[in-house]
Protein backbone atom coordinates (compact mmCIF):
# COMPACT_ATOMS: atom_id res chain seq x y z
CA UNK A 1 0.00 0.00 0.00
CA UNK A 2 1.15 3.50 -0.56
CA UNK A 3 1.20 6.23 2.00
CA UNK A 4 -0.26 9.65 1.66
CA UNK A 5 2.19 11.90 3.41
CA UNK A 6 1.40 15.40 4.54
CA UNK A 7 4.06 18.05 4.27
CA UNK A 8 5.11 19.25 7.66
CA UNK A 9 5.76 22.87 8.34
CA UNK A 10 9.23 24.10 9.20
CA UNK A 11 12.59 23.50 7.63
CA UNK A 12 12.32 19.75 7.49
CA UNK A 13 9.74 17.71 5.76
CA UNK A 14 8.80 14.31 7.01
CA UNK A 15 7.25 11.57 5.02
CA UNK A 16 6.15 8.28 6.39
CA UNK A 17 5.77 5.41 4.02
CA UNK A 18 3.91 2.45 5.44
CA UNK A 19 4.96 -0.59 3.41
CA UNK A 20 3.45 -3.97 3.47
CA UNK A 21 5.34 -7.21 3.85
CA UNK A 22 3.65 -10.54 3.98
CA UNK A 23 4.23 -13.25 6.51
CA UNK A 24 5.53 -11.12 9.36
CA UNK A 25 3.49 -10.79 12.51
CA UNK A 26 3.78 -7.49 14.18
CA UNK A 27 1.59 -4.91 15.78
CA UNK A 28 1.60 -1.17 15.86
CA UNK A 29 0.40 1.41 18.28
CA UNK A 30 -2.84 1.68 16.36
CA UNK A 31 -3.69 -1.95 17.03
CA UNK A 32 -4.96 -1.03 20.47
CA UNK A 33 -8.07 0.56 18.99
CA UNK A 34 -10.92 -1.82 19.71
CA UNK A 35 -12.43 -2.79 17.40
CA UNK A 36 -9.58 -1.94 15.03
CA UNK A 37 -10.38 0.88 12.68
CA UNK A 38 -8.89 -0.48 9.50
CA UNK A 39 -9.46 2.46 7.21
CA UNK A 40 -6.68 4.71 8.50
CA UNK A 41 -3.23 4.49 10.00
CA UNK A 42 -2.23 7.16 12.47
CA UNK A 43 1.32 8.15 13.21
CA UNK A 44 2.09 10.38 16.14
CA UNK A 45 5.38 12.08 16.73
CA UNK A 46 6.21 14.92 19.05
CA UNK A 47 2.70 16.30 19.16
CA UNK A 48 2.16 15.90 15.39
CA UNK A 49 -0.44 13.56 14.07
CA UNK A 50 -0.24 12.06 10.58
CA UNK A 51 -3.03 10.12 9.03
CA UNK A 52 -2.74 7.64 6.18
CA UNK A 53 -5.59 6.10 4.22
CA UNK A 54 -5.48 2.33 3.90
CA UNK A 55 -6.43 1.02 0.43
CA UNK A 56 -9.80 -0.69 0.44
CA UNK A 57 -8.33 -4.03 -0.61
CA UNK A 58 -6.38 -4.19 2.65
CA UNK A 59 -9.15 -3.13 4.98
CA UNK A 60 -10.62 -6.61 5.26
CA UNK A 61 -7.28 -8.04 6.44
CA UNK A 62 -6.25 -8.53 10.02
CA UNK A 63 -3.99 -5.58 10.87
CA UNK A 64 -1.94 -7.94 13.05
CA UNK A 65 -0.67 -9.49 9.83
CA UNK A 66 0.54 -6.23 8.35
CA UNK A 67 4.03 -4.88 8.58
CA UNK A 68 4.59 -1.13 8.68
CA UNK A 69 7.78 0.74 7.96
CA UNK A 70 8.48 4.40 8.42
CA UNK A 71 11.15 6.33 6.55
CA UNK A 72 12.00 9.96 7.13
CA UNK A 73 13.23 12.33 4.45
CA UNK A 74 15.22 15.23 5.84
CA UNK A 75 15.29 17.16 2.61
CA UNK A 76 15.14 16.46 -1.11
CA UNK A 77 18.71 15.26 -1.65
CA UNK A 78 19.32 13.43 1.63
CA UNK A 79 19.00 9.68 1.77
CA UNK A 80 15.80 8.56 3.48
CA UNK A 81 16.29 7.32 7.04
CA UNK A 82 14.39 4.21 7.97
CA UNK A 83 13.11 4.14 11.56
CA UNK A 84 13.51 0.96 13.57
CA UNK A 85 10.27 -0.68 14.59
CA UNK A 86 10.05 -1.51 18.26
CA UNK A 87 7.91 -4.59 18.67
CA UNK A 88 5.29 -3.67 21.18
CA UNK A 89 2.44 -5.94 21.99
CA UNK A 90 -0.46 -3.68 22.84
CA UNK A 91 -2.70 -5.59 25.14
CA UNK A 92 -5.64 -4.15 26.95
CA UNK A 93 -6.77 -6.71 29.50
CA UNK A 94 -9.55 -4.52 30.83
CA UNK A 95 -11.04 -3.52 27.50
CA UNK A 96 -14.82 -2.99 27.58
CA UNK A 97 -17.13 -5.75 26.47
CA UNK A 98 -20.90 -6.16 26.20
CA UNK A 99 -22.91 -3.40 27.89
CA UNK A 100 -19.66 -1.83 29.16
CA UNK A 101 -18.58 -1.46 25.51
CA UNK A 102 -21.85 0.26 24.62
CA UNK A 103 -21.38 2.67 27.55
CA UNK A 104 -17.73 3.20 26.61
CA UNK A 105 -18.68 4.06 23.01
CA UNK A 106 -21.36 6.53 24.13
CA UNK A 107 -18.96 8.24 26.56
CA UNK A 108 -16.30 8.36 23.87
CA UNK A 109 -18.67 9.92 21.35
CA UNK A 110 -19.95 12.45 23.88
CA UNK A 111 -16.44 13.50 24.90
CA UNK A 112 -15.27 13.43 21.27
CA UNK A 113 -12.40 11.42 22.69
CA UNK A 114 -9.74 10.34 20.22
CA UNK A 115 -9.87 13.51 18.11
CA UNK A 116 -6.76 14.94 19.70
CA UNK A 117 -3.29 13.37 19.49
CA UNK A 118 -2.58 11.01 22.35
CA UNK A 119 -6.25 10.38 23.18
CA UNK A 120 -6.14 6.61 23.20
CA UNK A 121 -9.06 4.51 24.38
CA UNK A 122 -7.10 3.27 27.36
CA UNK A 123 -6.48 6.78 28.61
CA UNK A 124 -10.06 8.03 28.32
CA UNK A 125 -11.15 7.26 31.89
CA UNK A 126 -8.00 8.90 33.32
CA UNK A 127 -8.80 12.22 31.67
CA UNK A 128 -10.17 15.29 33.44
CA UNK A 129 -12.93 15.43 30.80
CA UNK A 130 -14.09 11.95 31.80
CA UNK A 131 -14.10 12.88 35.49
CA UNK A 132 -16.04 16.08 34.77
CA UNK A 133 -18.63 14.12 32.77
CA UNK A 134 -19.05 11.51 35.50
CA UNK A 135 -19.27 14.16 38.21
CA UNK A 136 -22.07 15.78 36.24
CA UNK A 137 -23.87 12.44 35.89
CA UNK A 138 -23.55 12.08 39.66
CA UNK A 139 -24.75 9.40 42.03
CA UNK A 140 -28.39 10.27 42.54
CA UNK A 141 -30.65 7.18 42.41
CA UNK A 142 -33.64 9.39 41.59
CA UNK A 143 -31.91 10.57 38.42
CA UNK A 144 -32.18 8.16 35.52
CA UNK A 145 -29.38 9.17 33.18
CA UNK A 146 -29.37 7.34 29.86
CA UNK A 147 -28.26 10.14 27.56
CA UNK A 148 -25.60 12.82 27.56
CA UNK A 149 -26.02 16.32 26.28
CA UNK A 150 -23.28 18.65 25.16
CA UNK A 151 -23.48 22.42 25.50
CA UNK A 152 -24.10 22.65 21.72
CA UNK A 153 -27.28 20.62 22.19
CA UNK A 154 -25.92 17.34 20.73
CA UNK A 155 -27.37 14.38 22.59
CA UNK A 156 -25.71 10.97 22.82
CA UNK A 157 -27.97 8.16 23.98
CA UNK A 158 -26.47 5.26 25.89
CA UNK A 159 -27.95 2.25 24.17
CA UNK A 160 -27.28 -1.46 24.26
CA UNK A 161 -29.09 -3.64 21.73
CA UNK A 162 -31.60 -0.82 21.33
CA UNK A 163 -32.34 -0.55 25.05
CA UNK A 164 -31.54 2.40 27.26
CA UNK A 165 -28.66 1.97 29.70
CA UNK A 166 -28.89 3.98 32.93
CA UNK A 167 -25.62 5.13 34.47
CA UNK A 168 -24.49 6.58 37.78
CA UNK A 169 -21.08 7.62 39.16
CA UNK A 170 -21.24 5.31 42.16
CA UNK A 171 -19.45 6.82 45.19
CA UNK A 172 -17.37 8.84 42.74
CA UNK A 173 -15.35 5.75 41.89
CA UNK A 174 -17.27 3.27 39.76
CA UNK A 175 -19.46 3.52 36.68
CA UNK A 176 -22.70 1.89 37.85
CA UNK A 177 -25.22 0.77 35.27
CA UNK A 178 -28.45 -1.04 34.61
CA UNK A 179 -30.22 -1.76 31.32
CA UNK A 180 -33.82 -0.58 31.11
CA UNK A 181 -36.22 -3.19 29.79
CA UNK A 182 -38.58 -1.57 27.30
CA UNK A 183 -42.12 -1.15 28.57
CA UNK A 184 -41.15 -1.53 32.23
CA UNK A 185 -40.84 1.10 34.91
CA UNK A 186 -37.16 1.72 35.69
CA UNK A 187 -35.92 1.37 39.25
CA UNK A 188 -32.32 1.21 40.51
CA UNK A 189 -33.08 -0.58 43.72
CA UNK A 190 -35.13 -3.64 42.83
CA UNK A 191 -34.73 -6.47 40.41
CA UNK A 192 -37.80 -5.36 38.50
CA UNK A 193 -37.71 -2.73 35.83
CA UNK A 194 -34.66 -3.94 33.97
CA UNK A 195 -31.63 -6.16 34.10
CA UNK A 196 -29.35 -6.47 37.07
CA UNK A 197 -27.20 -3.64 38.36
CA UNK A 198 -23.46 -3.79 37.61
CA UNK A 199 -20.40 -1.79 38.49
CA UNK A 200 -17.34 -1.30 36.35
CA UNK A 201 -13.94 -1.83 37.98
CA UNK A 202 -12.57 1.29 39.66
CA UNK A 203 -9.02 0.78 38.33
CA UNK A 204 -8.15 3.18 35.51
CA UNK A 205 -8.45 1.81 31.97
CA UNK A 206 -10.14 -1.31 33.30
CA UNK A 207 -13.72 -1.66 32.03
CA UNK A 208 -14.28 -5.16 33.41
CA UNK A 209 -17.25 -5.72 35.70
CA UNK A 210 -16.59 -5.33 39.39
CA UNK A 211 -17.06 -8.37 41.58
CA UNK A 212 -15.82 -6.92 44.82
CA UNK A 213 -18.58 -5.10 46.68
CA UNK A 214 -16.32 -3.26 49.10
CA UNK A 215 -13.71 -1.63 46.90
CA UNK A 216 -15.21 -2.18 43.48
CA UNK A 217 -12.48 -4.09 41.70
CA UNK A 218 -12.89 -6.68 38.98
CA UNK A 219 -11.73 -10.23 39.65
CA UNK A 220 -8.13 -9.86 38.40
CA UNK A 221 -7.69 -6.55 40.21
CA UNK A 222 -9.12 -7.71 43.50
CA UNK A 223 -6.44 -10.39 43.51
CA UNK A 224 -3.67 -8.00 42.54
CA UNK A 225 -1.32 -6.67 45.12
CA UNK A 226 -0.47 -3.06 45.71
CA UNK A 227 2.89 -1.97 47.03
CA UNK A 228 3.61 0.10 50.10
CA UNK A 229 7.06 1.52 49.57
CA UNK A 230 9.81 3.40 51.28
CA UNK A 231 11.48 5.72 48.78
CA UNK A 232 14.74 7.56 49.27
CA UNK A 233 16.41 10.21 47.13
CA UNK A 234 19.89 8.89 46.40
CA UNK A 235 20.97 12.18 44.77
CA UNK A 236 20.77 14.08 48.05
CA UNK A 237 23.31 12.83 50.56
CA UNK A 238 23.21 15.68 53.08
CA UNK A 239 20.55 13.87 55.09
CA UNK A 240 18.48 10.82 54.19
CA UNK A 241 15.34 12.11 52.44
CA UNK A 242 12.63 9.48 52.57
CA UNK A 243 8.92 9.04 52.05
CA UNK A 244 6.35 6.31 52.50
CA UNK A 245 4.56 5.82 49.20
CA UNK A 246 1.69 3.76 47.83
CA UNK A 247 1.48 4.22 44.05
CA UNK A 248 -1.81 3.44 42.33
CA UNK A 249 -2.37 -0.11 41.27
CA UNK A 250 -1.05 -1.09 37.88
CA UNK A 251 -0.83 -4.34 36.00
CA UNK A 252 2.85 -5.00 36.70
CA UNK A 253 5.09 -4.25 39.67
CA UNK A 254 6.76 -0.87 39.76
CA UNK A 255 10.40 -0.73 38.81
CA UNK A 256 12.67 2.04 40.03
CA UNK A 257 12.33 3.71 36.60
CA UNK A 258 8.51 3.49 36.83
CA UNK A 259 8.51 5.10 40.26
CA UNK A 260 10.76 7.93 39.16
CA UNK A 261 8.56 8.59 36.16
CA UNK A 262 5.46 8.36 38.37
CA UNK A 263 6.57 10.89 41.00
CA UNK A 264 7.48 13.35 38.24
CA UNK A 265 3.97 13.20 36.76
CA UNK A 266 2.33 16.63 37.26
CA UNK A 267 -1.02 15.17 38.37
CA UNK A 268 0.74 12.99 40.98
CA UNK A 269 2.82 15.95 42.16
CA UNK A 270 -0.30 17.94 43.05
CA UNK A 271 -1.35 15.14 45.43
CA UNK A 272 2.01 15.20 47.23
CA UNK A 273 2.68 18.89 47.97
CA UNK A 274 5.67 18.21 50.21
CA UNK A 275 7.30 15.90 47.69
CA UNK A 276 6.48 18.38 44.92
CA UNK A 277 8.16 21.21 46.82
CA UNK A 278 11.14 18.98 47.57
CA UNK A 279 11.61 18.15 43.89
CA UNK A 280 11.24 21.80 42.86
CA UNK A 281 13.77 22.83 45.51
CA UNK A 282 16.24 20.19 44.34
CA UNK A 283 16.09 21.56 40.80
CA UNK A 284 16.74 25.07 42.15
CA UNK A 285 19.70 23.83 44.20
CA UNK A 286 21.16 22.25 41.05
CA UNK A 287 20.66 25.52 39.13
CA UNK A 288 22.46 27.43 41.85
CA UNK A 289 25.32 24.99 42.35
CA UNK A 290 25.85 24.21 38.68
CA UNK A 291 24.61 27.22 36.68
CA UNK A 292 26.23 25.95 33.45
CA UNK A 293 25.49 22.27 33.54
CA UNK A 294 22.42 21.84 35.77
CA UNK A 295 20.23 20.71 32.89
CA UNK A 296 22.42 17.63 32.45
CA UNK A 297 22.24 16.71 36.13
CA UNK A 298 19.54 14.45 37.56
CA UNK A 299 18.35 16.53 40.55
CA UNK A 300 16.69 13.64 42.41
CA UNK A 301 16.36 9.93 41.94
CA UNK A 302 14.30 7.74 44.22
CA UNK A 303 15.47 4.31 45.16
CA UNK A 304 12.97 1.79 46.52
CA UNK A 305 14.44 0.87 49.92
CA UNK A 306 11.43 -1.19 50.93
CA UNK A 307 8.46 -2.57 49.05
CA UNK A 308 5.72 -4.50 50.76
CA UNK A 309 3.20 -6.15 48.45
CA UNK A 310 -0.32 -6.05 49.92
CA UNK A 311 -3.71 -7.13 48.71
CA UNK A 312 -5.57 -4.13 47.34
CA UNK A 313 -8.09 -4.23 50.17
CA UNK A 314 -5.37 -3.87 52.81
CA UNK A 315 -2.89 -1.57 51.11
CA UNK A 316 -4.34 1.79 52.17
CA UNK A 317 -4.59 0.73 55.79
CA UNK A 318 -1.04 -0.63 55.82
CA UNK A 319 0.21 2.52 54.09
CA UNK A 320 -1.43 4.57 56.87
CA UNK A 321 0.02 2.34 59.62
CA UNK A 322 3.54 2.62 58.21
CA UNK A 323 3.21 6.37 57.56
CA UNK A 324 2.11 7.14 61.15
CA UNK A 325 4.80 4.77 62.47
CA UNK A 326 7.51 6.37 60.33
CA UNK A 327 6.49 9.84 61.49
CA UNK A 328 6.97 8.66 65.10
CA UNK A 329 10.28 6.92 64.30
CA UNK A 330 11.69 9.95 62.50
CA UNK A 331 10.54 12.33 65.25
CA UNK A 332 12.21 10.37 68.06
CA UNK A 333 15.28 9.42 66.01
CA UNK A 334 15.93 13.07 65.15
CA UNK A 335 15.54 14.11 68.78
CA UNK A 336 18.36 11.74 69.71
CA UNK A 337 20.58 12.53 66.72
CA UNK A 338 23.04 15.16 65.66
CA UNK A 339 22.16 17.39 62.71
CA UNK A 340 24.00 15.22 60.18
CA UNK A 341 22.26 11.99 61.21
CA UNK A 342 18.76 13.40 61.02
CA UNK A 343 16.30 11.72 58.72
CA UNK A 344 13.93 13.87 56.71
CA UNK A 345 10.50 12.43 56.00
CA UNK A 346 9.13 14.32 53.00
CA UNK A 347 5.49 14.06 54.02
CA UNK A 348 2.98 16.56 55.36
CA UNK A 349 -0.46 15.07 56.04
CA UNK A 350 -0.57 11.55 57.38
CA UNK A 351 -4.04 10.05 57.23
CA UNK A 352 -5.57 7.46 59.50
CA UNK A 353 -9.27 7.67 58.68
CA UNK A 354 -11.10 4.65 60.05
CA UNK A 355 -8.36 3.77 62.55
CA UNK A 356 -9.61 1.33 65.20
CA UNK A 357 -7.78 -0.15 68.19
CA UNK A 358 -6.31 -2.86 65.94
CA UNK A 359 -4.84 -0.09 63.78
CA UNK A 360 -2.98 1.41 66.76
CA UNK A 361 -1.78 -2.09 67.73
CA UNK A 362 -0.27 -2.38 64.26
CA UNK A 363 1.44 1.03 64.54
CA UNK A 364 2.86 -0.02 67.91
CA UNK A 365 4.17 -3.30 66.46
CA UNK A 366 5.76 -1.36 63.60
CA UNK A 367 7.61 1.11 65.85
CA UNK A 368 8.56 -1.63 68.36
CA UNK A 369 10.27 -3.73 65.71
CA UNK A 370 12.14 -0.60 64.63
CA UNK A 371 13.55 -0.08 68.12
CA UNK A 372 11.05 2.44 69.56
CA UNK A 373 9.17 1.52 72.74
CA UNK A 374 7.03 3.48 75.19
CA UNK A 375 6.16 3.04 78.84
CA UNK A 376 4.59 5.17 81.55
CA UNK A 377 5.32 5.90 85.19
CA UNK A 378 3.66 8.07 87.86
CA UNK A 379 4.34 11.79 87.74
CA UNK A 380 6.10 13.51 90.66
CA UNK A 381 3.58 14.72 93.25
CA UNK A 382 4.51 18.35 92.68
CA UNK A 383 4.26 18.08 88.88
CA UNK A 384 3.18 21.34 87.29
CA UNK A 385 0.61 20.35 84.64
CA UNK A 386 0.37 23.71 82.95
CA UNK A 387 3.59 25.72 83.03
CA UNK A 388 2.36 29.12 81.89
CA UNK A 389 5.48 29.67 79.79
CA UNK A 390 4.03 27.10 77.33
CA UNK A 391 0.35 27.10 78.23
CA UNK A 392 -0.82 30.62 79.08
CA UNK A 393 -4.06 30.78 81.10
CA UNK A 394 -7.07 30.92 78.78
CA UNK A 395 -7.71 34.63 79.41
CA UNK A 396 -4.10 35.40 78.42
CA UNK A 397 -4.30 33.55 75.08
CA UNK A 398 -4.48 36.01 72.19
CA UNK A 399 -7.08 34.36 69.99
CA UNK A 400 -6.23 36.55 67.03
CA UNK A 401 -2.77 34.96 66.96
CA UNK A 402 -1.78 31.32 66.32
CA UNK A 403 -2.22 28.75 69.11
CA UNK A 404 -2.87 25.04 69.49
CA UNK A 405 -5.89 23.59 71.27
CA UNK A 406 -7.63 20.42 72.26
CA UNK A 407 -11.21 19.27 72.48
CA UNK A 408 -12.68 16.02 73.67
CA UNK A 409 -15.57 13.68 72.99
CA UNK A 410 -17.62 11.77 75.55
CA UNK A 411 -15.84 8.43 75.29
CA UNK A 412 -12.10 9.04 75.41
CA UNK A 413 -11.90 10.83 72.08
CA UNK A 414 -9.39 13.67 71.92
CA UNK A 415 -9.31 16.34 69.26
CA UNK A 416 -6.02 18.06 68.45
CA UNK A 417 -6.25 21.30 66.55
CA UNK A 418 -4.52 24.53 65.71
CA UNK A 419 -5.56 28.02 64.88
CA UNK A 420 -3.09 29.56 62.45
CA UNK A 421 -2.87 32.99 60.86
CA UNK A 422 -4.63 31.52 57.79
CA UNK A 423 -7.61 30.25 59.71
CA UNK A 424 -8.22 32.77 62.50
CA UNK A 425 -10.10 35.33 60.43
CA UNK A 426 -12.28 32.74 58.74
CA UNK A 427 -13.36 30.70 61.74
CA UNK A 428 -12.85 30.90 65.43
CA UNK A 429 -11.35 27.48 65.72
CA UNK A 430 -9.48 25.06 63.56
CA UNK A 431 -7.19 25.09 60.59
CA UNK A 432 -8.51 24.85 57.06
CA UNK A 433 -8.10 21.10 57.05
CA UNK A 434 -10.02 20.84 60.28
CA UNK A 435 -12.87 22.80 58.84
CA UNK A 436 -13.21 20.12 56.18
CA UNK A 437 -13.46 17.55 58.97
CA UNK A 438 -16.58 19.17 60.28
CA UNK A 439 -18.03 15.88 61.46
CA UNK A 440 -15.09 15.29 63.80
CA UNK A 441 -15.48 18.61 65.58
CA UNK A 442 -19.26 18.88 65.39
CA UNK A 443 -20.70 19.01 68.88
CA UNK A 444 -17.28 19.40 70.49
CA UNK A 445 -16.79 23.14 70.08
CA UNK A 446 -17.79 23.79 73.71
CA UNK A 447 -15.07 21.37 74.94
CA UNK A 448 -12.24 23.20 73.22
CA UNK A 449 -9.49 24.64 75.39
CA UNK A 450 -6.40 26.42 74.12
CA UNK A 451 -3.07 24.77 74.86
CA UNK A 452 0.14 26.25 73.53
CA UNK A 453 0.86 29.80 72.48
CA UNK A 454 4.12 31.62 72.04
CA UNK A 455 3.86 35.27 71.02
CA UNK A 456 6.51 36.09 68.42
CA UNK A 457 7.04 39.03 66.07
CA UNK A 458 7.20 36.75 63.06
CA UNK A 459 3.72 35.39 62.24
CA UNK A 460 5.10 32.61 60.05
CA UNK A 461 7.32 31.47 62.91
CA UNK A 462 4.35 31.64 65.28
CA UNK A 463 2.27 29.53 62.90
CA UNK A 464 5.11 27.02 62.84
CA UNK A 465 5.42 26.64 66.61
CA UNK A 466 1.62 26.38 66.95
CA UNK A 467 1.52 23.70 64.21
CA UNK A 468 4.37 21.88 65.95
CA UNK A 469 2.42 21.96 69.21
CA UNK A 470 -0.56 20.51 67.36
CA UNK A 471 1.69 17.79 65.89
CA UNK A 472 3.04 16.89 69.34
CA UNK A 473 -0.54 16.89 70.68
CA UNK A 474 -1.52 14.42 67.95
CA UNK A 475 1.52 12.24 68.77
CA UNK A 476 0.59 12.23 72.46
CA UNK A 477 -2.98 11.09 71.63
CA UNK A 478 -1.58 8.45 69.27
CA UNK A 479 0.89 7.13 71.88
CA UNK A 480 -1.86 7.04 74.54
CA UNK A 481 -4.06 5.07 72.08
CA UNK A 482 -1.23 2.62 71.36
CA UNK A 483 -0.66 2.09 75.10
CA UNK A 484 -4.44 1.60 75.63
CA UNK A 485 -4.49 4.29 78.32
CA UNK A 486 -7.83 5.39 79.69
CA UNK A 487 -9.43 8.66 80.65
CA UNK A 488 -12.62 8.60 82.77
CA UNK A 489 -12.92 4.87 82.14
CA UNK A 490 -12.67 5.13 78.34
CA UNK A 491 -9.79 4.28 76.06
CA UNK A 492 -8.10 7.39 74.72
CA UNK A 493 -8.33 7.67 70.94
CA UNK A 494 -7.89 10.48 68.42
CA UNK A 495 -11.05 12.06 67.00
CA UNK A 496 -8.96 13.62 64.24
CA UNK A 497 -8.48 11.70 60.99
CA UNK A 498 -4.94 12.73 60.21
CA UNK A 499 -1.72 14.29 61.38
CA UNK A 500 -2.13 17.71 59.77
CA UNK A 501 1.55 18.32 59.43
CA UNK A 502 4.51 16.09 60.19
CA UNK A 503 7.63 17.84 61.51
CA UNK A 504 11.15 16.46 61.24
CA UNK A 505 12.29 18.61 64.13
CA UNK A 506 10.46 20.83 66.59
CA UNK A 507 11.37 23.82 68.70
CA UNK A 508 9.93 22.53 71.99
CA UNK A 509 10.02 18.71 72.04
CA UNK A 510 9.21 18.76 75.78
CA UNK A 511 5.64 19.76 74.86
CA UNK A 512 4.93 16.12 74.00
CA UNK A 513 5.55 14.95 77.59
CA UNK A 514 3.57 17.89 78.96
CA UNK A 515 0.50 17.36 76.77
CA UNK A 516 0.73 13.63 77.44
CA UNK A 517 0.71 14.34 81.18
CA UNK A 518 -2.29 16.68 80.86
CA UNK A 519 -4.26 13.97 79.07
CA UNK A 520 -3.22 10.84 80.95
CA UNK A 521 -1.88 12.04 84.31
CA UNK A 522 1.21 9.95 83.57
CA UNK A 523 4.86 10.42 82.76
CA UNK A 524 5.78 9.23 79.25
CA UNK A 525 9.03 7.26 78.96
CA UNK A 526 10.49 6.77 75.50
CA UNK A 527 13.11 4.17 74.72
CA UNK A 528 14.79 4.42 71.36
CA UNK A 529 17.54 2.67 69.47
CA UNK A 530 18.40 5.29 66.84
CA UNK A 531 17.99 4.11 63.26
CA UNK A 532 21.15 2.68 61.76
CA UNK A 533 22.12 4.66 58.67
CA UNK A 534 24.34 2.80 56.20
CA UNK A 535 25.51 4.61 53.07
CA UNK A 536 22.77 7.19 53.57
CA UNK A 537 20.08 4.53 53.95
CA UNK A 538 18.15 4.47 57.25
CA UNK A 539 17.37 0.91 58.26
CA UNK A 540 13.57 1.02 58.60
CA UNK A 541 11.94 -2.41 58.68
CA UNK A 542 8.48 -2.63 57.09
ZN1 LIG B 1 -10.25 -4.22 36.96
**Span from the CA of 219 to the centroid of ligand 1 (angstroms):** 7
Q: What average pLDDT does range 330-347 have in this prediction?
A: 95
**Span from the CA of 201 to the centroid of ligand 1 (angstroms):** 5
Choose among 453, 497, 456, 455: nearest CA to 477: 497
- Boundaries of every domain in the chain: 1-91, 98-219, 225-372, 380-520
Q: Which residue has the higher pLDDT, 13 or 215?
A: 215
**Span from the CA of 97 to the centroid of ligand 1 (angstroms):** 13
Q: Which residue has the higher pLDDT, 271 or 278?
A: 278
SS3 8: coil
Residue 168 has pLDDT above 90, yes or no: yes
**Span from the CA of 218 to the centroid of ligand 1 (angstroms):** 4
Q: Say how far apart CA 157 and CA 136 lie, in whole Å.
A: 16
**Span from the CA of 222 to the centroid of ligand 1 (angstroms):** 7
Q: Say how far apart CA 264 and CA 316 lie, in whole Å.
A: 22
Write out the H or E segment, with its range, that includes residue 278: helix 273-289
CA dihedral defined by 426, 432, 438, 442, rounded to 10 degrees? -60
Q: What average pLDDT does range 453-457 have in this prediction?
A: 95
Is residue 516 within 8 A of residue 477, CB to CB? The reply is no
**Span from the CA of 221 to the centroid of ligand 1 (angstroms):** 5
**Span from the CA of 494 to the centroid of ligand 1 (angstroms):** 35
Q: Distance between alpha carbon 520 and the CA centroid of its chain, in Å?
A: 35
Kindly report the pTM of this predicted structure.
0.62
**Span from the CA of 104 to the centroid of ligand 1 (angstroms):** 15
**Span from the CA of 223 to the centroid of ligand 1 (angstroms):** 10
Give per-residue pLDDT as tens, 288-313.
999 999 999 999 999 999 999 887 77
Report CA-CA distances (Å) from 86 to 83, 90, 92: 9, 12, 18
**Span from the CA of 434 to the centroid of ligand 1 (angstroms):** 34
**Span from the CA of 101 to the centroid of ligand 1 (angstroms):** 14
Give per-residue pLDDT as tens, 36-89.
345 667 676 765 667 777 777 777 776 656 777 777 776 666 677 777 776 555
Amino acid sequence: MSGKARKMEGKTSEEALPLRKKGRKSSTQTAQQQPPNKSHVFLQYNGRSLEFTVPEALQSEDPQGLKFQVTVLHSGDDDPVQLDLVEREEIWPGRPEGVAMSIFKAFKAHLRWGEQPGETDMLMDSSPQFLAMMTEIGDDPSKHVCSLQRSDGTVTRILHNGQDVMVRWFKGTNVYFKVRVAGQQFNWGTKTGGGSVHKICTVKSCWSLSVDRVVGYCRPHSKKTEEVMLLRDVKNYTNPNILVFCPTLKMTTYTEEDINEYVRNPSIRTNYPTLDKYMTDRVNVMKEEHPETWENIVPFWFEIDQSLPMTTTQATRRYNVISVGTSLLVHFHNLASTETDRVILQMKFIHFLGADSQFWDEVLQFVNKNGLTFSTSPLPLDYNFRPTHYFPPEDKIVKTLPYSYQGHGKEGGIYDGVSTSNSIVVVGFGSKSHRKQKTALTGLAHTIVPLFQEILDDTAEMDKTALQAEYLGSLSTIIASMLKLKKDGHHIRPIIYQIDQHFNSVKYPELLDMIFAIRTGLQLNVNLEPLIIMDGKPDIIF
